[in-house]
Amino acid sequence: MNTMTFEKLQYNELKEIVKSYCVSGLGKELLNKLEPSTSIKVVRNRLNETTEARAIVDAEGHVPFFGISNIASTIQKLEKGMILDPEELVSVSDFLRGCRKIKKFMLDKEFFAPVLASYANSMTEYKSIEEEINFSIKGNSIDAAASKELKRIRNNIDSVDGKIKERLTKFLNSSANKKYIQEFFISKKDDRYTIPIKSSYKNQVAGSIVEASAKGSTVFVEPHTVTKLNVELASLKAEEAMEEYQILATLSGMVVENIYHIKINMELISQYDMVFAKAKFSKSIDGIEPKLNDHGYIHLVNCKHPLLNGKVVPLHFEIGQSYRSLIITGPNAGGKTIVLKTIGLLTLATMSGLHIAGDKETEIAIFENVFVDIGDNQSIENALSTFSSHMKNLSEIMRMSNNNTLLLFDEIGSGTEPNEGAALAISILEEFYLAGCITVASTHYGEIKRFSEMHDDFMNAAMQFNSETLEPLYKLVIGKSGESNALWIANKMNVREHVLQRAKEYMENKEYRFEKLNESKIRKPKFVQEKRENHYEYKIGDRVNVLDYDDFGIIYKEIDNFYNVVVYYNGEFVEVNVKRITLEVAAKELYPEGYDLNTLFVDYKERKMQHDIERGSKKALRKIQKEIRKNRE
């Protein structure tokens, strides 16, 4: 397998749908790692698990995964020697309770699911740890009843806290303090009880300033009457924190002592979650467990693509017994690509332990390799690069394939000249056949279809087409060659009869008429003197700026009826519209009167040779004769 196979066949999209049926991150994580197995023994076991789980889902309607969550990060903290906080301990307790309930549930289902029920025997119950955590922690906080010492400390905290509030209330109600107080309430600042005092009286109130307001108009003072009590309260709070830490450490230690078996529980819950997700998916598609083989035989009976919703035409398909290569032909948008994707995805799904939608007679082969070359993006501009990428992919597939390989090719040999493409495609198909591969390929090329008809181990198939509505029926008919129906469709679209007749003749004998166009059909340029825009009348030799190149050229041919001139630029003659040039220097300003402007368009060596010939130079004549002899050789 390779990533392209998974991508083109939308295998990961199928896994995402199955993941949506998981109840925990544990099952989803396991599904993320799931890949098709190439072992028929493993696949049988996977499918059996799904079938047993489906029986339970059908009978019970639900599975009690209550409280199950992914506690992997919590376990990792413990393995690093860290202490869990109350919320994390509660999640561990919930997980252990969920394991206990799942174990009981599965052991009761031994009749429906003997294999899945046997897994529950490996699951360990930790009811004592559950109870200890639930006794010590209430509402994600440590309960006072967790230990006698904690209860004593918290009682003392409540007592001291009450005394502080009582004294501060007395301070607020004192008429002597009324003028000092900014606001009449008790405020807690930096974990200390304070009274808001006007800053102008801060030195007249006996106490410690704990904090000041942003504007400085208020200071928060801890009166001396509660200073000792606040110190005592802080000490008790420290004792409380120490005792809470001890309780959390004790509870964490209980989990650590059993971490090995708890991790086994996690693995089993992950497996159960994934298997029951497969079962729920199976129920949603009314799936079946297909028959299996390891000799390349595929038999699909009323099978459907698992990602297609709504009304889907079921697929009947067979390969691997009387023929090992199938060539599918037919019109565009007829469903050939969907057939290939259905065969491939159903194979991958089965190898992953998933049920598929189809009849019970369906049989799937387990392959070592499944390779595809399906080009979904086609464009004229990208034809060369598309063909190159296809060839690169086919070359890689050829290198990795063996006699236990399923190959799915869409429009093999396309993207290049038809004759070459067909010949190359036939040779490639033959090479894969000789390697022992099972191959399904779609094509438009008639030559490939003819090759398939002549080869004993190849078979043709066609996508059916409604001759009345022009709509594809998406039905595959094995043993029949498909036609593109181009002439028939053109006739239905009212293309002229003589055009269709001529096309038919060309198809049959390849003799083309090469008729000449009647002169009366040719539109001649109209030499009507139109009112010209105020264009400069460019002359031969004018130096102009060619806007498209942002560079200079020389006018070689003056303006024509279409407002075009010919410019000598960079050793070449370029036709340019007058709107795309601007005059730089007129010829009359550049060259003296009577100057031979033709010399501007011939390089120096050529001009000298011409001059030598004109004056009868023997050297020049010998040079010409030498070049003539050289060309003859």
Residue 242 belongs to a domain with what CATH number?
1.10.1420.10
Domain end: 435, 453, 484, which one? 484
**Which strands sit side by side in the sheet containing 207-212, from one edge to the other?**
187-189, 192-198, 218-223, 207-212
> Tell me, what's the pLDDT at 248?
97
Mean pLDDT score, 600-617: 62
Element (H, E) at 564: strand 564-569
> Tell me, what's the pLDDT at 387?
81
For 410, phi and psi rounded to 5 degrees? -100, 120
**Range with the lowest mean pLDDT among 169-183, 316-330, 615-629?**
615-629
Structure tokens at 516: 């000449």
Q: CA–CA separation, 402 vs 392, rounded Å?
A: 18
In this predicted structure, the answer to whether residue 531 has a pLDDT above a threshold of 90 is no
Q: Is residue 365 part of a domain?
A: yes
Q: Are residues 305 and 421 in the same domain?
A: yes
> Tell me, what's the pLDDT at 381?
42
Contact at 8 Å (CB) between 572 and 546? no
Q: Are residues 25 and 103 in the same domain?
A: yes
Cα–Cα–Cα angle for 455, 456, 459, rounded to 5 degrees: 75
**Residue 613: pLDDT band by 50, 70, 90 thresholds?**
low
**Residue 472: pLDDT band by 50, 70, 90 thresholds?**
low
Q: Are residues 317 and 390 in the same domain?
A: yes
In this predicted structure, the answer to whether residue 203 has a pLDDT above a threshold of 50 is yes
Report the SS3 class of residue 414: coil
**Residue 334: pLDDT band by 50, 70, 90 thresholds?**
low
Instruction: Output 395 or 206, whichever has higher pLDDT.
Output: 395
Q: Are residues 184 and 203 in the same domain?
A: yes
> Tell me, what's the pLDDT at 383?
44
> Tell me, what's the pLDDT at 377?
44
Q: Are residues 102 and 213 in the same domain?
A: no
Placement of tokens 């010939």 in the chain: 613
Q: CA–CA separation, 405 vs 299, rounded Å?
A: 16
Q: How many residues does the chain have?
A: 633
Q: Are residues 120 and 162 in the same domain?
A: no
**Range with the lowest mean pLDDT among 174-183, 540-549, 554-563?**
174-183
Domains held by the chain: number? 4
**Residue 379: pLDDT band by 50, 70, 90 thresholds?**
very low
> Tell me, what's the pLDDT at 219?
85
Domain end: 443, 458, 484, which one? 484
In this predicted structure, the answer to whether residue 322 has a pLDDT above a threshold of 80 is yes
Contacts of 40 (CB under 8 A, 6+ apart): 292, 293, 294, 366
Q: Is residue 619 part of a domain?
A: no
Instruction: Output 409 or 389, whichever has higher pLDDT.
Output: 409
> Tell me, what's the pLDDT at 380?
39
What are 390-404's pLDDT values in tens digits? 888 999 999 999 999
Mean pLDDT score, 314-333: 88
Report which DSSP code applies to 181.
Answer: B
Q: Are residues 179 and 201 in the same domain?
A: yes
> Tell me, what's the pLDDT at 438?
97
> Tell me, what's the pLDDT at 484?
60
Q: Is residue 280 part of a domain?
A: yes
CATH code assigned at 362: 3.40.50.300
What are 20-79's pLDDT values in tens digits? 999 999 999 999 999 999 999 999 999 999 999 999 999 988 889 988 889 999 999 999
Of the chain, the percentage scoring pLDDT greater than 70 comes to 88
Mean pLDDT score, 97-111: 94
Of the chain, the percentage scoring pLDDT greater than 90 comes to 51
Mean pLDDT score, 471-476: 76
Q: Are residues 401 and 340 in the same domain?
A: yes
**Residue 208: pLDDT band by 50, 70, 90 thresholds?**
confident
Contacts of 57 (CB under 8 A, 6+ apart): 63, 276, 279, 280, 283
Report which DSSP code applies to 216.
Answer: S
Placement of tokens 């050529």 in the chain: 606
Instruction: Output 568 or 605, whichever has higher pLDDT.
Output: 568
> Tell me, what's the pLDDT at 506?
76
Q: What is the mean pLDDT of the chain?
A: 87
- Indicate the residue type of 198: K
> Tell me, what's the pLDDT at 467?
65
In angstroms, how far is CA 361 from the centroid of its own chain?
34
Q: Is residue 131 part of a domain?
A: no
**Residue 375: pLDDT band by 50, 70, 90 thresholds?**
confident
Q: Is residue 251 part of a domain?
A: no
CATH code assigned at 35: 1.10.1420
> Tell me, what's the pLDDT at 384?
45
Instruction: Output 385 or 201, whichever has higher pLDDT.
Output: 201
Q: Is residue 630 part of a domain?
A: no
Q: Are residues 234 and 201 in the same domain?
A: yes
Instruction: Output 153 or 516, whichever has higher pLDDT.
Output: 153
In this predicted structure, the answer to whether residue 147 has a pLDDT above a threshold of 70 is yes
Q: Is residue 517 part of a domain?
A: no
Q: Are residues 53 and 79 in the same domain?
A: yes
Q: Are residues 160 and 189 in the same domain?
A: yes
Q: Is residue 513 part of a domain?
A: no
In this predicted structure, the answer to whether residue 236 has a pLDDT above a threshold of 60 is yes
> Tell me, what's the pLDDT at 592?
84
Domain range enclosing 575: 543-613
Q: Are residues 305 and 397 in the same domain?
A: yes
